Structure 1
Amino acid sequence: MPGLVYDAARRELGRNNLAPVYYLTGSEEILKDELVAAIVNAALDPQDRDFNLDIRTAGDLDGESLHALVETVPMLAERRVVVIRGLEQWRKGAKVWEVLGRYLRSPSATTVLVLLHATEEPDAEILSASTHVVLEPLSGDDLHRWARAHVAAAGVRLEPAALAHLLRAVGDDLAHVQAEIEKLAGAIGDDRPVTVDDVAQFVGVRHGETLEDWVTAVLQRDVVRAVRLVDLVLPQPGITGVRMITALGTELVGVRLARALADHGLSGRRLEQALLAELRQARPPGARSWADLASSWTAAISRWTGADLDYAIEAALETDTALKSTTVSDEGGLLRGFILGLRGQDRAA
């Protein structure tokens, strides 16, 4: 059974549905920290935390100390919370795993146990006895909801276009997004709404010069603009040739799906709705809202045949492989060559 995602876990906590054991896996550490805080807030009143909240590192625990930790009764409170970080620090076959297994088979009714595990292969025994939450980088509508919540918490107001530009410029790096929101809150506060120009000034990426703008130029087959944007986007912090071609590859696959659906008779609003359903299911990486993606892919199919898209996807894969070569010295040249190659294919067709 697949684990819950961040929003679903937060909704369950909002309904006061506390589980006896939570198992948090995935690579997004900020979301792990936020979910741990949400679990603690749901389980314990502030005045009860001094004696009923234990946050420990797995490497500091052996079997005996783990047993004592999880079996301790609450002090003047209904329950206690135990958070154990870094389960990957325990050696395979160590006695502490046996102690944890016994506890999971009969967890305490007065303890909420939260286990954090940085692993690509979650432990099967824990999975079967816990509420599993997978915390991976957010994208699309999930990312926009998270950002709006943090904007509100920071006490700053962003115009919708300003928030969209912030996410286009920064991407799905939550730590970076949070830092930029705090920067805007400190500089502008709630005196007035933050504009696109404000975001461009503080983030350092002008409107129309983001990774998303480059991807859009390629999808629109605007060769001149796409080539020009390579030199503007590639030097930006956190941007690499691999990241650019990966973002484009994701959207080329999306347009290929749109092309296939259109070839089977879907068009207009029906096509957008079908794409939106697929996006909500797949949750592909990227900062654009899913509605924007569905609309963009629907519009793009007028410029691409199925054969064009198949060629572009294969060329993107080849460019990705070349960019990952240890001998590559000119990422911009490879990206420009890829774009010009698409134009050459178009002329040949």
Structure 2
Amino acid sequence: MSAEHIIADFKKKNFKPVYWLEGEEPYFIDEIVAYAEHKILSEAEAGFNLTVYYGKDANWADVLNSCKRYPMFAERQVVVLKEAQHMKDIERLESYINSPLGSTIFVISYKEKKLDARTKFAKTVKAKGELLSTKKLYDSQLPGWAGQMIQMHGLGIDQKALLLLVDHIGNDLSRMQNEIEKLAVNLGSRKTITEDDIEKYIGVSKEFNVFELQEALAKKNLPKAIRINQYFAANPKSAPIQMVLPALYNFFSKVYMAFGIQSNDEKEVASLLGVSPFFVKSYQEAARNYKQQGVEAILLLLHEYNLRGIGINDTGTEDADLMKELIVKMMA
């Protein structure tokens, strides 16, 4: 079951006694916990019937006793255990999870890890509780997720602006939500987010960014690539080499994959590569300009310069100089 389904059930007052929320993506876990903590009970009910524990400080016996308590002046009570991954003897909760109280909604937030499915405790959680196991979204899923979040705010966004936003923020869904909310506030009466808005309110240059560098490399436009690198050098926080090199490696890895795709249909190619159709032409252009042998050489160069960027086989060359060397060699 997804976070959206669980929250939808909460809104319908369709509750399970135990919710175990685990995994790599904290955003979905936090979303459910926030709803359970602030929305299930009214303000008056919460005063008597909401208990919140933190795993690092909580004692399993105290949590167990709270769960077994009956609600006061309400149909149900809510017990939230945050940061449960830090709780000692958490397996001691198994007896309660195996036979929970119907009037208690027990929500456990177990972030950044998962239970060992082979253990008796994990099997009990799965059999008796509502288990949500979260995963980080793939990079190819981020534009769709961000687009849906923008639609929820009643807004639209230009395709390039969307990809610029996603590339800048990366796989940090909480930050993505905050930035979208900032855009919604600053947009005023307008309903479409543009590249200019991303530049003004998020602080990403629409001319000097990793996407534009990829485009310049794909077209073998050396002057433009050098200008972008000069901007990166003058604004090191905008695109550190540790962010640029993996992005370029990802780009040229997909260019290399494109050699094995026979179809010319952009949507099909995009699906097979796991990218937005918006950028398919760029991948195809890079494939034409560099040929398969050239792309292989570029991938090796990127590996070499990634090592040099972290100080291996390099005596301390500045990041901007490393990038300039790399760009020239890639286009040679």
Q: TM-score range by the shorter chain?
A: 0.7 to 0.9
Q: Conserved in 1, the CA contact under 8 Å of 2:7 and 2:35?
A: yes
Alignment map for 1:102-117 (pairs within 5 Å): 102-117=95-110
Distance 2:36 2:143 in 1: 21
Structure 2 runs not aligned, ≥5 long: none
The answer for the alignment partner of 2:293 in structure 1 is 307
Q: 1:90 aligns to what?
A: 87
Partner of 1:286: none
CA offsets 1:2-56 (integer angstroms, 9 cap, x no match): xx7xxx4314543667553222222x54443223234567855676544443322
Give ranges in structure 1 of 5+ residues lacking alignment: 280-288, 345-349
- Mapping for residues 236-247 of structure 1, pairs under 5 Å: 237=237, 239-247=239-247
Q: Is 1:21–2:19 an aligned residue pair?
A: yes
State the partner residue of 2:320.
Answer: 332
Identity of aligned residues (%): 20
Using the alignment, how far apart are the partners of 1:238 and 1:115 within structure 2? 38
* Structure 2 counterpart SS, 1:216: helix
8 Å contact from structure 1 (residues 24, 114) kept in 2: no
Report how far residue 112 of structure 1 moved: 3.5
Distance 1:293 1:18 in 2: 44
Q: Which residue of 1 aligns with 2:207?
A: 208
**Residue 317 (structure 1) aligned with residue 303 (structure 2):** yes
Considering Cα pairs closer than 8 Å and 6+ residues apart, tell me whether 1 or 2 has the greater RCO: 1
Alignment root-mean-square deviation, CA: 3.5
1:190 pairs with 2:183: no
* Separation (CA, whole Å) in 1 of partners of 2:157 and 2:146: 16
Q: Is the 8 A contact 1:227 1:336 kept in 2?
A: yes
TM-score normalised according to structure 2 size:
0.77
Letter in 1 for 2:22: L
CA 118–191 in structure 1, closer or farther in 2 if over 3 Å, else same: closer
Question: Secondary structure of 2:136's match?
Answer: coil
Contact 2:156 2:192 in 1 (8 A): yes
Query: Partner amino acid for 2:294?
Result: D
Q: Which residue of 2 aligns with 1:63?
A: 60
Q: Does 1:342 align with 2:330?
A: yes
Pairs aligned (count): 317
Matching residue's letter, 1:117: Y
Q: Which runs of 4+ in 1 moved over 6 A?
A: none
SS at match of 2:85: helix
What amino acid is aligned across from residue 19 of structure 2 in structure 1?
A: V
CA distance in 2, matches of 1:329, 1:108: 64
Deviation at 1:107, TM superposition (A): 3.8
Q: Which residue of 1 aligns with 2:132?
A: 132
Q: Does 1:268 align with 2:264?
A: yes
Matched residues in 2 for 1:35 and 1:293: separation? 35
Tell me, yes or no, if the aligned pair for 2:214 and 2:248 is still in contact at 8 Å: yes
Post-superposition offset of 1:210: 1.6
The code of the aligned residue for 1:335 comes to M
